[in-house]
Amino acid sequence: MADVEVVQVFLGADGTGGSPLGVVRDGASVRGVADRQEVARRLGFSETVFVDHTARGEVDIYTPSVRLPFAGYPLIGTAWLLRHHGEAVDLLRTEAGEVATWADGDFTWIRGRAEWVSGKRTQQFGSAAEVDALPAPPPGEGWLYAWAWADEAAGTVRARGFPRRGDAITEDEATGAAAMLLAGELGRDLRIRQGAGSEILARVSDQGWIEVGGRVAAVGSAGTGGAGQD
């Protein structure tokens, strides 16, 4: 049975919000894409990560229904968890590319590129109240990041994320890749309040790089009902 640790990623300053992430630090305990996909499906989190090689930072990311070449909150959560266990990591290797990661106070950060974010679309609404009033999920197809300015001058945003991919996840509480995409599109630093109470920071760096950071906390462990057994 896979040993799954659970962390909460992108907590608000008051400790609320955040999206649960499953991390299998011993990725070798679950062999093959099909078995890993089944673990992710049984866990039912927005994403689950398998760490294939800690020293090299090799990771493999899954939603309950698809494998992802890149994602934000799974990388932040995994980087935090590895450091929590005393395993130094400053680079995570994904299918999309190499992702630098570091800690700064309560925040764990990653650096990536907006073009690595596939299959997501942003849509601006007229007010935070309009975003709050959206059903989960809104009508339509495809991954939607609905957002509005809470304070444009200050760069603060109200957002909600809707995968709309046909699995059990109707709304993502917090999404680092979508935050990276939005910061890239707007070309400015952002402080995003997403979901029920999550906080995401996004900073535009040089040469097309974008940094995303958030708070992480340990939750415990989760069972997989036998998925991933030999």
- pLDDT tens for 153-195 read 999 999 999 999 988 899 999 999 999 999 999 999 999 999 9
* pTM: predicted TM-score of the whole model, two decimal places: 0.94
Q: How confident is the model at residue 216 (pLDDT cuts 50, 70, 90)?
A: very high
- Would you call the peptide bond into 69 cis, given omega within 30 degrees of 0 as the criterion? no
- Phi and psi at residue 85, to the nearest 5°: -95, 10
Q: Calculate the average pLDDT of the chain.
A: 95
Segment 196-204 mean pLDDT: 97
pLDDT (0 to 100) of residue 223:
73
Orientation of helix 176-186 relative to helix 72-84, angle to 10°: 120
The answer to whether residues 100 and 90 touch, using CB atoms and an 8 Å cutoff, is yes
pLDDT higher than 50, residue 208? yes
Q: Name the fold adopted by 4-111+215-222.
A: Diaminopimelate Epimerase; Chain A, domain 1 (3.10.310)
Q: What is the percent of the chain with per-residue pLDDT over 70, rounded to a whole number?
A: 97
Segment 37-42 mean pLDDT: 96
Domain 116-210 has CATH 3.10.310.10: yes
Segment 113-135 mean pLDDT: 97
- Within the chain, all domains assigned CATH 3.10.310.10 are found at 4-111+215-222, 116-210
User: How far is residue 34's CA from residue 13's CA, in Å, rounded to a whole number?
Assistant: 38
User: How far is residue 164's CA from residue 170's CA, in Å, rounded to a whole number?
Assistant: 7
User: How far is residue 165's CA from residue 222's CA, in Å, rounded to a whole number?
Assistant: 24
